[in-house]
Amino acid sequence: MEKPILYCDCDGVIFNTIETAFQIMERKGCDMSNPNEIDYYFRRIIDWREVFANSKIINNAIDKIRLLKDSDLFSDVIILTKLSGNYYEEGLKRDIFRECLPDVKVITLQYGLTKALVVNPKGNVLIDDELRNCNNWKNYDGIAVLFDLEANDLENDIVNDLLDIPNTIGVKKLFKTSKF
């Protein structure tokens, strides 16, 4: 059996950019109760250089991605991240990953595209903090692991630490083994 590819989301899984962006938007006067205004700020006004300058790496995710990349579990580890539509965001993400994870490929998707339609999910693993992305991935015969800082339920493919991915029930079934 060919080893699966591990696709890893960036925002909310590797960096806390979403939380940081919301804090910046609120500080700049965005009406956080208005979804249209949030969307407008997020896509047009927010300075992604400021967001990344103030974002933190979640749970040593960069080091853990290196470990997963160097492991024998996956044929490859790839960052699969959506863009907000902001001009600077793609270049910044590519530069950041080129510096901290130079041997990890980065695939960016324009806002509105679906991850499961850009790459082949079948038999591959996605770690994402958005349930809809995970559900969509599963609809295309992929293994989806939900990243949630507040939860860790390996039986339901929910992790708050990237190194738990191989121990989730879906990945175990994929490898047809009970222990890694």
Instruction: Set out the domains of the chain in order of their start, with CATH numbers.
Output: 5-15+57-175 (3.40.50.1000), 17-54 (no CATH)
Does residue 149 surpass a pLDDT of 50? yes
User: Minimum mean pLDDT among 63-77, 83-97, 109-123: which range?
Assistant: 83-97
Q: How far is CA 113 from the centre of its chain?
A: 15
**SS3 for 97?**
helix
**Is residue 72 pLDDT above 90, yes or no?**
no
Tell me the mean pLDDT in the region 97-105: 95
**Single-letter amino acid code for the residue at 97:** F
Q: How far, in Å, CA of 67 to CA of 167, rounded?
A: 15
- Give residue 104's pLDDT band: very low, low, confident or very high (50, 70, 90): very high
Residue 74 has pLDDT above 70, yes or no: yes
Residue 180: the pLDDT is: 43
Q: Is 76 exposed, middle or buried (0-12, 13-18, 19+ CB in 10 A)?
A: middle
Q: What is the pLDDT of residue 179?
A: 44
The residue assigned the tokens 């990945």 is 171
- Predicted local distance difference test score (pLDDT) of residue 1: 63
Question: Taking all residues of the chain, what is their mean pLDDT, rounded to a whole number?
Answer: 92
How far is Cα 101 from Cα 84, in angstroms, rounded to an integer? 22
- Amino acid of residue 86: N
